[in-house]
A = this chain, B = another copy of it.
């Protein structure tokens, strides 16, 4: 039950005090898509089929796919349900990675093997790859994933951090049995509270997820916000460019502080430090929260600051 996640700052505030925390413990973009004006019906009425279809149409364009797709209350909802919908029981997860994949398969009674190379996934009934990976940013090219797909029963590719790298996505190749692609709305668009994500795959699997999720799995405001944001290609391009520049800025701060770049994506960076706990404590003394990992004594992950004032505080903390 109590799996650790970034992003719950309340416990941190309770432990360390202070209200002025900068949460860099997640990979959520801190310059969010501006929430559009919402029609009253988004709040008051049951979400309509046409609002859902408009969202799915925008998502199909944004993700460049014509495969069956279902919108859910976050990519996490798909991670929760896939073990109950897919047939396989023997699962391999390319690790280390986002810990909910293994946890949800184990909770569903599956056997889960965590493997450290893509090659070791071959032969699995179900194989899970996060691409780009969290937390180390490791990238597997689409051609390699499609080759891997032929060597496993079902390949799940979690593309929660793939928005800035559209050519990396295998969503355009989805639709046939054996491949399920997960997309997160909240991270790149900086709106994790909205709870919106997508599963893309073959018709039976997407149908199974749709049935299990029920008639109204996504809130009315999420349908509206998602449809507006996913159509806004100018915002997505500008945000990708901004993030690419800011990645260089945070890396420069970290390297000047003596840390070594260990990987990352446009939305978070992983650094090797002499002592991860000491590094987290040091940043916490400046009310900046970070992510460290039970499986590594030296790695620390940082999301990117948002406003310029946040950048200055991070620079001061690492200065």
Contacts and interface: CB of A to CB of B under 8 A. Distances in A.
A248 interface: no
Interface string A184-215: 00100011111100000000000100111111
Contacts of A290: none
Interface of A: 1, 3, 5-11, 23, 26, 28, 30, 32, 35, 40-50, 73-74, 76-77, 79-80, 84, 100, 104, 107, 186, 190-195, 207, 210-222
Contacts of A191: 43-44
Contacts of A48: 7-10
* Number of copies of chain A assembled together: 2
A45 B193 contact: yes
Contacts of A219: 73, 193-195, 219, 221-222
B5 A46 contact: yes
A1 B42 contact: no
A207 B1 CA distance: 9
B73 A45 contact: no
A287 to B, nearest CB: 16
B1 A210 contact: yes
A191 B219 CA distance: 10
Given A5-B46, A23-B45, A44-B192, A211 B107 contact: yes
22 contacts: A6-B46, A7-B45, A8-B46, A8-B48, A9-B45, A9-B48, A11-B49, A23-B45, A28-B44, A28-B45, A30-B44, A32-B43, A43-B194, A44-B192, A46-B186, A76-B216, A104-B214, A107-B212, A194-B220, A195-B216, A195-B219, A221-B221
A50 B212 CA distance: 28
A221 B207 contact: no
Contacts of A28: 44-46
A17 to B, nearest CB: 15
Contact of A43 (B26, B35, B100): B35
A163 to B, nearest CB: 16
Contact of A50 (B10, B193, B194, B221): B10
A248 to B, nearest CB: 24
Contacts of A212: 80, 107
Given A76-B215, A76-B216, A195-B219, 15 more contacts: A5-B215, A26-B46, A28-B44, A32-B43, A32-B44, A43-B194, A44-B191, A46-B192, A46-B193, A73-B217, A73-B219, A79-B214, A100-B215, A194-B221, A219-B222
